[in-house]
Structure 1
C-alpha cells in the first residue's frame, strides 16, 4: 500500500507543478509534451485527477493514526 501512496503523491505533485505553470506562465507542460488534448494527454490528466481524489484518503488515515 505504501507504493500506491508514493505513486499518488508523485502524480499529485506533477499535477500541482503543471497547474502552477499554467497559472503563472500560461504554459501547459503535459500538453506540450504529449500533444494538445491528445488521447495520451487526456489519459494523463485523468490519472492525475484520480490520484488527487485518492489523496483525500490520506486525511482520514492521518486522523485515525493520530487518535490511536
Structure 2
C-alpha cells in the first residue's frame, strides 16, 4: 500500500497548491492547464477528492508499523 499512499499524498498536495493559488491570487491552475470544467479537469478534481478521502485514513494508522522491529526505543 505504500505506493498508493504516495500517489494519494501527491494528489492531495496538488489540490492544496491549487486551492492556495485560488485563495491567494484567484488563479485556478487546473482550469488554466486543462480548460474550465473540461473532461480532463473534472477527472483531476475527482482524483484529488478521492485521494483526500483516502488520506483521512492516515490519521488512524499505527505510525510504528514502518519501523524496524529490531530498533531499540
CA RMSD of aligned residues (A): 1.0
TM-score w.r.t. structure 2 length? 0.84
Q: How many equivalent residue pairs?
A: 64
After TM superposition, the structure 1 = structure 2 runs for residues 1-68 of structure 1, keeping only pairs within 5 Å, are 1-61=1-61, 64-65=62-63
Unaligned runs of 5+ in 1: none
Off by >4 Å, runs of 4+ in structure 1: none
User: Larger helix proportion, structure 1 or 2?
Assistant: 1
Rg (Cα) greater in structure:
2
Unaligned runs of 5+ in 2: 65-73
TM-score w.r.t. structure 1 length? 0.90
